[in-house]
Amino acid sequence: MTNQSGVPNRKPRPKAVVNQRDCVACGCCLKVCPMNAIRIFRGIFAKVDESRCVGCGKCVRECPASVIALKEVSL
């Protein structure tokens, strides 16, 4: 499906988003990510590479602090 200018419409896709303020950088999420899309930034919080994230939700389920959510992101 395309828009009026002939450009394909992009459906929003779920991506993992970390509440960096409350993240404790435990690393549980990156251990279960099948795409290696998560890194610990400066030992302070997890950060998701949206270009690698497939939105599987494994990190959401694994996070003991419940600070990761899946949000729809237009690509």
d(CA 67, CA 48): 12
CATH class of 12-74: alpha beta
| Helix, strand, or coil (residue 59) | helix
Say whether pTM exceeds 0.85.
Answer: no
Q: How many CB atoms lie within 10 A of CB 60?
A: 19
pLDDT tens series, the chain, 75 aa: 556 766 666 778 899 999 999 999 999 999 999 999 999 999 999 999 999 999 999 999 999 999 999 999 765
Indicate the DSSP class of residue 6: S
